[in-house]
Structure 1
Amino acid sequence: MNAKISILFYAKRAKASTSGLVPIYLRITVDGTRIEISSKRFIMPEKWSQKQCRMKGNSEEARALNAYLDILKGKVYDAQREIVQGGNLVSAETLKSKLLGTEIKKRMLIPIFQDHNNRMEKLVGKEFAKGTLGRYQTCISHTKEFLKWKFNISDIDIKKIDYAFLNDFEFYLRTEKSCNNNSAVKYLKNFGKIIRICLANGWLEKDPYLNYHSKFNEVSRAFLNEKELESLMNKDFKNERLLLVRDIFLFSCFTGLAYIDTQKLTQDNINLGLDGNKWIFTTRQKTKTTSNIPLLRQAEDIIQKYKEHKTCLNTGKLLPVLSNQKMNAYLKEIADLCDINKDLTYHIARHTFATTVTLSNGVSIESVSKMLGHKSIKTTQHYAKILDAKVSEDMQKLKKIFYQKEEKSEKLKRKISL
């Protein structure tokens, strides 16, 4: 798109010299952004025509000065043409640089991206989870490989990142990196944060994401149904490690807490709620939102069971939670022993709380959303899949209502006919 340029000469009276001469300035406006450049010429204020933006009269001095101003005006349009021919964006900054013969400092993508990751790394455990840092590290790695694949370069000026760049990057992720839709969209979302940093700092004038659209495909989230949950609860494990992992998993099934939020719990997180019963009061690490959960009997029994566990006594933690990697490894073994034909991971406990434990038992989606610590109820709707049994139950109620209405109508008709 062509930039809209306007040119104006004016006498800057605020900078008058002791002899009364004022400098003549060139004001250039590019798409609403102004720059001012000195013409290095001076004039007495009474000789300047503010309306015509030129020196008054037809004297030799006036003709010479006005001719010089015309030359300057021509140089502005010459600079604009050269910038366009060079394949660059015409802006107030690029135009001023061209006219003054100064080189604009290029801001390169990779150092900006790396600086973001370095800052994030120092905030791991405080504001960010380690997994979040890992995703951004993978994203910068993919970005470097894309630049080599597409342009055979190791870095790029951020001003050259446009809509086409984003489309090509997405294509690369889907083809060369074999990313599925949601993975590709997530990497582009991570990349978008770096672009927003550039925009906020004024390093970019236009957002390349303005017309770029991508959408996550809804994923069918696995959860344990009532039968599978009972099987897991009633299974008698001889191995103490499997027993511990099963219990910690069940704790999250009855509280809805994610692994990291369960792992960091201490006795200080257990307090009496407004109803006089025990609640968990915590803040989700992922979203920094509060998550207040009334303790169900099953969860409270597990807390009591491990109250004197040596790990809890030594660390002050509420439960002896193993590493996420070990928990997931043991959960796969537990699934086999309980004949649960699902890829059992710790996060399935959170899904199970949202569906089998709460929604299917009539707990409102608003209450579930609050306990899960979601910022938006839309997020809860992705987790909380209404079970077939619940749908069937609701439809049976509806059928009953319709039947009662029809029966009432028939009785009324019979009464009228009599």
Structure 2
Amino acid sequence: MLKVQFFLRGAKKCANPSQNLSIYCQLEIEGLKQDTPFSTEYRVPLSEWWNYRQISSPNGQWVNPDYYTAENINRSLQKIERTFFDIMEVLYLMHTPEDITYKMIREHYDPNSQHIRDFKKEKKVKSFIEVLDEVIAKKLKKRMAKNTIKTYHSRKNNILAFLKKTKSLDIKIDKIRYSFIETFEEWMEQQRNKDKADKYCRNYINKHITLIRQCLDHAVDREYINAMPIGKLNLEYDAPKEPHYLLPEQRQKIIDCKIKKVEQVRDIAVFLMFTGFSYIDYMELTSNHLIGEGFKKARHKTGIFAFPPLLPEVEMIIKKYGSIEELPRLDDKEVNEQLKFLGAYVGLHQETLGYELSTQDFRDTFCSMMENEFMVEGRTLMHMMGHSTMKQIATYSRMMPTRILHDLKKQKVEFLK
């Protein structure tokens, strides 16, 4: 009795479901040790292999039918399987079962048969999706935060949605031209208008276009294509958003809010605006991060340590709940919804601020407050915020005239009276 088995080489040790692995074939005759596996010349992502999904594969289906080349690969694997069974049937007619060996079977199997040659010839020019998978896999080998990894998978999913919409899932990398990028850009703009989503801003769209450009650069480096098919991309970017700085009287309105319904979210807001932590870092905070008169916490996003001081407003909140571990931990979506309600009640909303309150505003506020009110120097503020360069402070802090005058007075600049 002959068994023809297909498996992904290295699947047990592979930790990345999106990584492409080679499909191997192995023969097994009842009573004999398994034959040495050999490559079928096909590759698929681990996540598209039925066994990885712990689903019993339908007859003749080893690759998830939703995968863009599944039909071709499954059909070819069926042909390999059928060929071995045909060889076995002929050998049964010519020999006794005990005399049949793997060597005899393999001698009658031609790995360079026509369907294999055609596949190899077709694969000389890789598809855009295959190159995209290679680029993302290359990026994921570097040390990256979980959120950064999610962004690359999100960009890939958006590009795949565009390819499905335009029925170009199988487009080859050498067919990518300016028109492809322009069509993709138009589609992203349509999604922006359709969903009315702020995330589909120019910068967000440009990151997708940059990823497509990186795929082309990768294809040139690997010699999948002979030359870069597009030149320099003159991308337009949205003007950087001004940091949201809540002034002392505005912060006091939040502190003074006595509505029981938003008591927890008010305490979270005060804690964030007087520590500068992002909400995800706040959620991870424990008593171990409080050292003496300040905090020491590796940022979730980058792993760089932040060293904000323990200000009286924060100390009061910790004492109120008994410990850092007992601080309210709400879902981020719920927090932002309640912040809008809090802002509407205390008069901090779209009409008065130009935006609705969110957790990000408190990180901006802390940075601006330290620079303009506490007059903290740039290098010190950089470490308090958990940044690697002082240039990043400009993203969070809004420079006020009082700070400019303070620095000028330090330099003993004389003003006209």
Tell me the TM-score normalised to structure 1 length.
0.57
Contact kept in structure 2, 1:117 and 1:133, CA below 8 Å: no
Q: Aligned pair 1:262/2:275, yes or no?
A: no
In structure 2, the partner of 1:305 is 320
Contact 1:257–1:350 (Cα < 8 Å) also in 2: yes
How far 1:264 sits from its partner (Å)?
0.5
Unpaired segments ≥5 residues, structure 2: 1-119, 194-199, 350-354
Aligned counterpart, 2:36? none
Does 2:253 match 1:234?
no
Tell whether 2:209 aligns with 1:188.
Answer: yes
Summarize the alignment of residues 212-361 of structure 1 with structure 2, pairs less than 5 Å apart: 212-214=233-235, 215-239=237-261, 242-272=262-292, 278-308=293-323, 312=325, 319-341=327-349, 342-361=355-374
Name 1:129's counterpart in structure 2: 146
List per-residue Cα deviations over 1:333-370 (Å, max 9, x = no partner): 11112111240001111011011344333112332222
Matched, 1:384 2:404: no
Q: Which amino acid aligns with 2:306?
A: S
Between the aligned residues of both structures, percent identity stands at 23
The question of 1:365 aligning with 2:378 is answered yes
SS at match of 1:336: helix
1:102: Cα distance to partner?
5.4
Deviation of the 1:236 alpha carbon? 2.1
Q: Which residue of 1 aligns with 2:124?
A: 105
Structure 1 residue 144 and structure 2 residue 144: aligned? no
Q: Give, as a single letter, the amino acid of the residue that structure 1 aligns with 2:125.
A: K
- Please list the CA deviations of residues 117-165 of structure 1 after superposition, one character each: whole Å capped at 9, or x if unmatched: 7999999xx95335x4554344223323433566x41132234445554
- Answer yes or no: is the 8 Å Cα contact 1:254–1:357 preserved in 2: no
* 1-structure distance, mates of 2:309, 2:214: 36
Give how far 1:270 is off: 1.4
Aligned counterparts of 2:232 and 2:135: Cα–Cα separation in 1: 25
Q: What secondary structure does 2:232 align onto?
A: coil
Looking at structure 1, the residues matched to 323 and 241 of structure 2 have their Cα atoms a distance apart, in angstroms, of 40
| Residue 70 (structure 2) aligns with | none
| 3-state secondary structure, aligned to 2:338 | helix
Moved more, 140-149 or 326-335: 140-149
Contact kept in structure 1, 2:372 and 2:402, CA below 8 Å: no
Is contact 1:163-1:211 (8 Å) kept? no
Q: Output the amino acid matched with 1:281.
A: K
- The verdict on how the C-alpha distance between 1:115 and 1:255 changes in structure 2, with shifts beyond 3 A counting, is same
Cα deviation 1:285-336 (Å, max 9, x = unaligned): 2122221222222222222222358xx36xxxxx332110111111111111
Relative to 1, partners in 2 of residues 1:180 and 1:127: Cα closer, same or farther, differing over 3 Å?
closer
Amino acid at match of 2:232: N
| Paired residue secondary structure (1:228) | helix
Helix, strand or coil at the partner of 1:401:
coil
Moved more, 218-227 or 256-265: 218-227
Unaligned runs of 5+ in 1: 1-100, 273-277, 314-318, 405-418
What SS does structure 2 have at the residue aligned with 1:402? coil
**Among residues 173, 184, 195, which one is paired with 1:158 in the alignment?**
173
1:289–1:374 CA contact under 8 A, matched in 2: yes
**8 Å Cα contact 1:247-1:302 kept in structure 2:** yes
Change (3 A) 1:267 1:208: farther
Query: Which residue is 1:97 aligned to?
Result: none
Q: 1:133 to 1:102 in 2, by over 3 A?
A: closer
User: Quick one: structure 1 residues 196 and 254, their matched pair in 2 at CA, closer, same or farther if it must change by over 3 Å?
Assistant: farther
Cα distance in 2 for residues equivalent to 1:202 and 1:370: 44
Call closer, same or farther: CA 1:176–1:346 in 2, change over 3 Å. closer
Distance in structure 1 (CA, Å) of the matches to 2:315 and 2:290:
10
Residue 247 of structure 2 aligns with an amino acid whose one-letter code is: N
Matched letter for residue 331 of structure 1: L
Code of the residue aligned with 1:136 in structure 2: it is Y
Amino acid at match of 1:188: I
Report the Cα distance in structure 2 between the residues aligned to 1:220 and 1:303, rounded to whole angstroms. Answer: 31
RMSD: 3.8
CA distance in 2, matches of 1:153, 1:349: 44
